[in-house]
Structure formats: structure tokens, C-alpha cells
Amino acid sequence: MSRRRRVTLTDVAVRAGVSATTASYILNGRSAQMRISTPTDERVRNAAAELGYRPNRSARSLRTATTTTIGVISDFVASGHYASQMLTGASAAARESDHLLMIGETEGDAALEERLIDEMLERQVDGILYATLTTRQVTVPQALLQQRVVLVNCIDPGSDLPAVLPDELQAGRTAARLMVDAGITSEVYAVGEDPTPGALSGALRLEGLRYGLEEAGGALAGVIPCDWDVVPARDAVSQWLCSGRMPRGFVCLNDRVAMGVYQALSERRLHVPDVAVVSFDGSDLATWLQPRLTSIAVPYDEMGALAMHRLVEPEGAARDLLAVATVPMVVGWGGSLPDRRAALSRLV
């Protein structure tokens, strides 16, 4: 666009009256070890500033074989806050180490996924964050196996790729705790069991919930299955209530389900918190419902940040293959929990 050729390192060197080599050392902060004198150092820096020098990363990348760029492969970027919250966390973490993010949305299409991965590898990304919308097990494409990769919100049982997962088990136990604290240990029903193959969050949340209730001498009274959305939940619970049962609490597997439950209760002139409702996600929706919904946040932004840190951290550092992001609501918690890794491995 601008008619003037872009400013190169040589331009800076010429203006400062030194060689490109010297300019390179100085601008890369290697003055000290290269014994560059202070006056020269300053001359070069001034020249760079005056010319508005911006290094050409393509050239640098060619030479150093690094791009300080990370690829993010995700099945869905747009759907809800999950993916984008993760992206925000990852993006912020990337910034700490001057990395930029390159994104690719696969829409669940394996061919597209391969193409996007190829494009990223051609562009020499330094690593790839492989994320999924729902917590589940996956089989990552072959091409990724010999790359630097961290999985987010999913695990690949067939590989030893490091993964970051939310601590759904603890989240489930927190839900139980909320019920117990409200004096409710019986007639608690879960809403939204999902039998999707490979899905993990529902099963883990339920397991944590069961464990937490039993810990307090209670038990989960039952599970009302339905898809994780408002209308299916409303219909399922509405019908379930027709049977005349009188629940004391509902634990909804996400906030949209909870909204459906609110509606179903309202239809029968039942009110929250006469019937207690607890849910998972901590989305905005929870603050919009009346009365406000108690919801357990899944820290997607933390997960993104954690994954990014693992990805850019110096190689060889001792580290777990499985990182489990904590759930913020869990504070000052005592007592033991069935081993998380064991719980996971039972499921996969």
C-alpha cells in the first residue's frame, strides 16, 4: 500500500553506520554478551525508532524455525461462551510470552480438520492447542502426534498427549454440598443425563454428585434424562412433575437445562427455592433467571491459559500428562474424593 519499501534491518544498520550483524545483535538484546559499546547501542536503537523498523518475521522464522505463533484447532469457536472463553484465556496467556494465536474451526469435519492442521503446520506454528466444545474423548489426527500439542477439554486415550480437563468430579461434589448446606439430602434429582458416546462431563458430574450426597448420608433420588437444552429440559421435567412426585431439589447438568426446569416448575406454580435448583456452567443465564440461579462455573478461561502455558513452557520440564483445572467455587474444601484419574479411566 505505502509506496515506500518496508524498512529492513540493513536500512537501520546503514543509518546507524554499523553492519547489519551489529544491528541484529543490538535489537535482539544481545549487546552485552556481544560487547557492543553503549554509544553504538543507542545509535542503532535510535535509528530503528526513527525509521519505524519492524522486523520481518518471515525471515526470522525461516532462519530460526520458530514463529512465536500457536495454532488453535477447535471443533466450534462460535458456539456459546465455552470455546470463546477458552480462547480468551489462551490468548491472554499467549500474550505473556509474545505469542499470537492462529485459529481454525473444524465444525466437526475430519477432512477440514486435517486441512487446517496442514495449513498451520505449513505456517510453522510452534505448537497446537486442540480443543473441543464438549468434554469428551477424541482421536487426534496422525499429523499431530509428532507435534507439540496440548489437548483442552478432551483426552486421547490412544496417545500420550498432555490434556487439560475441568474437574467435573469436584464440580459435582460441590453441587451436592450446596444441596446439603441447604438441608437437603433426599429427593434430589439430577436433570440431563446424556448418553452421548465419548462425553465425559455429565457422567463425572453425576458421579461427584452421588458421592457428595452419600458423603452426607443422603442419596441421589433419581435422574431425569434429556438433551442439554431449555426446551427438552422443560418438556421432560414438566412431564415428570405430572406424575405427582414432589422433589426437594434439582441438580441440572447445565444452565440451559436449569432454565427449562425453572419454566416447568413455574407452570405448576412451584417456586425456586422452595424447590432448590443448582446447575453447572456459571453462564450469564444464571444471573438472568429469577431468582438468580446457583451455578457452578467451569473455568474455561483458566483451562485455556493453563494449556497455553504448558504449550510454551520450556521443553523437558517435568509435568503431568493430565492437568485438571480447578473449579473456582471450590474453596477451603476438606475431605477426600475418589481419585480423579481413576474416575476418568473408568470412563474411557
Partner DNA sequence: TGCTCGTGCTGATTCGATTCAGCATATGTT
Partner DNA sequence: AACATATGCTGAATCGAATCAGCACGAGCA
Partner interacting with residue 78 (select from its own copies, DNA, none; CB below 5-8 Å by kind): its own copies
Q: Which of 14, 51, 55, 326 binds DNA (CB under 7 A)?
A: 55
Report 17-46 residues binding its own copies (CB under 8 A). none
Q: Which residues contact 6 (CB under 8 A, 6 or more apart)?
A: 54, 56
Instruction: State the first-to-last Cα distance of the chain, in angstroms, to the nearest integer.
Output: 54
DSSP 143-209: GGTTS-EEEEEEE-TTS---EEEE-HHHHHHHHHHHHHHTT--SSEEEE-----TTB-HHHHHHHHH
Residues 227-236: b if buried by 16+ CB within 10 A, e if exposed: bbebebbbeb
- The interface with DNA within residues 12-51 (CB under 7 A) comprises 17-22, 24-25, 27-28, 34-37, 39-40
Among positions 211-270, residues that touch its own copies (CB under 8 A) are: 230-231, 234, 256, 259, 263
Residue 2 binding DNA, by CB under 7 A: no
| Among 34, 49, 59, 110, contact with its own copies (rule: CB under 8 A) | 59
d(CA 207, CA 220): 10
Dump strand ranges (E) for 77-185: 100-105, 127-137, 149-155, 163-166
In the complex, least distance from residue 112 CB atom to DNA, rounded to whole angstroms: 23
Rounded distance between C-alpha atoms, residue 125 and residue 127, angstroms: 5
Pick from 9, 16, 44, 101: which binds its own copies (CB under 8 A)? Answer: 101
Decide: is 3 part of the binding site for DNA (CB under 7 A).
Answer: no
Rg of the chain, C-alpha, whole Å: 26
Binding residues vs its own copies (CB under 8 A): 1-2, 54-59, 61-62, 67, 69, 77-81, 83-85, 87-88, 91-92, 95, 98, 100-105, 112, 116, 118-124, 146-148, 230-231, 234, 256, 259, 263, 287-288, 290, 301
Q: Give the residues lining the site for DNA (CB under 7 A).
A: 5-6, 8-10, 17-22, 24-25, 27-28, 34-37, 39-40, 53, 55-56, 59-60, 62-65
